[in-house]
């Protein structure tokens, strides 16, 4: 990342009927960054990304993307964007090569055979080019879709829930490829609700009910929120949860496998709330640094659902 800002938007707002789906959204993104958009389903992530890149005209707001105005020059932006949708959107009754050839023709690429061959080699599709796209597994469909997105050498890549329904191994391989692409200077915006994918992003913006709650480098996000957490393991956690919920000093209690994570913003208040249970038999307590999961639970619990 060279620090050059390639996306700079302010006040983006989108209204459908009587619902403000995105509310006064600001964002600055440096070139080559992997920027993660997180939030619950229906929070406005995809709508926001589309407006940021000129694919959807906002009701209010302004800004630039790749040097072009997101409202008046959206056609120019689209030429330099690769967009990978959540649902596989290529043609399942065509082979891998036929799909890539079709995409190359849409972009009016010169030397079509060479460009398709390069795309096949780049994402390991060589040897499968005659296989029908509809017969591919989720991971291989993902590779094909990404290959099609990258054929025209975009400066900006949009990934909408790209690993939904893909096995963990394929997800890891996918993210390795994404970082390789970002290292070439391609800026990447990705929407996801997988916590293990959030940590793969350079920056994270969290959206709930159309509003941006936080925007920070992924390594600084937890510290910016200022949350504190205690972890407890042992027997009777369900009963303990009921006792702790709603107690002053406790923001939320969440189950993580065989443990409870109890979090709050006031460090002393949180300790006072849980300390009466420190000497209870069959319970083991430990103070821990909160992770992204605890932060996101906190953000959701403190945000107002204006879509109801």
Secondary structure of residue 267 in the 3-state scheme: helix
**End-to-end Cα spacing for the chain:** 40
Distances (CA, A) of 276 to 57, 151, 240, 264, 302: 55, 61, 12, 16, 26
Number of alpha carbons in the 13 Å side-chain half-sphere of residue 228? 15
> Percent of the chain having pLDDT more than 70?
97
Q: Where does 5-222 sit in CATH, by number?
A: 3.40.50.300
Nearest one of 219, 238, 191, 168 to 39, comparing CA atoms: 191
Stated as kind and residue range, the H or E segment containing 274 is helix 267-274
Q: Tell me what pLDDT residue 209 has.
A: 83
> How far apart, in whole angstroms, are the C-alpha atoms of residue 278 and residue 109?
67
Give the mean pLDDT of 240-261. Answer: 94
> Considering the chain, what is the average pLDDT of its residues?
89
User: Tokens at residue 294, please?
Assistant: 């605890």
Is 220 exposed, middle or buried, given 0-12, 13-18 or 19+ CB atoms closer than 10 A?
exposed
Whether the per-residue pLDDT at 1 is higher than 60: the answer is no
Residue recorded with tokens 């689209």: 78
Using 50, 70 and 90 to split pLDDT, how confident is the model at 237? Answer: very high
**How many other C-beta atoms are found inside a 10 Å radius of the C-beta of residue 248?**
10
264-274: buried (b, 16+ CB within 10 Å) or exposed (e) per residue? beeeeebeebb
> How far apart, in whole angstroms, are the C-alpha atoms of residue 231 and residue 262?
6
pLDDT top residue among 275 and 127: 275
Number of alpha carbons in the 13 Å side-chain half-sphere of residue 276? 7
Q: Where are the domains of the chain?
A: 5-222, 228-289
User: Tokens at residue 271, please?
Assistant: 């300790």
Q: Tell me what pLDDT residue 296 has.
A: 83
**Secondary structure letter of residue 179 according to DSSP:** H
Q: Where does 228-289 sit in CATH, by number?
A: 3.30.70.330
**How many other C-beta atoms are found inside a 10 Å radius of the C-beta of residue 24?**
14
Using 50, 70 and 90 to split pLDDT, how confident is the model at 196? Answer: confident
How remote is the C-alpha of 224 from its chain's centroid?
19
pTM of the model: 0.85
Whether the per-residue pLDDT at 307 is higher than 60: the answer is no
Q: Tell me what pLDDT residue 122 has.
A: 85
């Amino acid at each position: 990342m060279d620090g050059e800002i390639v996306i700079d938007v302010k006040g983006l707002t989108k209204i459908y009927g009587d619902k403000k789906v995105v509310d006064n959204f600001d964002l600055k993104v440096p070139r080559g960054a992997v920027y993660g958009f997180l939030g619950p389903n229906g929070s406005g992530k995809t709508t926001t990304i589309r407006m940021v890149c000129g694919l959807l005209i906002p009701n209010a707001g302004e800004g630039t993307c790749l040097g072009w105005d997101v409202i008046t020059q959206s056609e120019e932006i689209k030429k330099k964007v690769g967009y990978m949708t959540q649902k596989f959107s290529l043609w399942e009754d065509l082979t891998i090569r036929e799909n890539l050839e079709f995409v190359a023709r849409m972009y009016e690429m010169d030397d079509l055979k060479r460009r398709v061959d390069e795309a096949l080699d780049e994402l390991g599709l060589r040897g499968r080019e005659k296989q029908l796209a509809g017969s591919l597994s989720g991971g291989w469909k993902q590779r094909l879709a990404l290959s099609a997105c990258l054929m025209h050498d975009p400066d900006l890549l949009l990934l909408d829930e790209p690993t939904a329904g893909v096995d963990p191994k394929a997800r890891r391989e996918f993210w390795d490829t994404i970082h390789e692409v970002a290292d070439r200077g391609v800026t990447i915006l990705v929407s996801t609700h997988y916590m293990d994918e959030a940590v793969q992003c350079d920056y994270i913006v969290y959206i709930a009910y159309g509003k941006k709650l936080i925007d920070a480098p992924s390594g600084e996000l937890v510290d910016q929120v200022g949350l504190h957490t205690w972890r407890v393991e042992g027997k009777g956690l369900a009963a303990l949860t009921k006792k702790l919920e709603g107690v002053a000093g406790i923001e939320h209690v969440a189950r993580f496998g065989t443990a409870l994570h109890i979090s709050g913003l006031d460090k002393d208040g949180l300790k006072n709330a849980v300390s009466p249970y420190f000497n209870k038999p069959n319970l083991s307590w430990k103070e821990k640094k909160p992770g992204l999961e605890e932060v996101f639970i906190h953000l959701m619990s403190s945000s107002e659902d204006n879509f109801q």
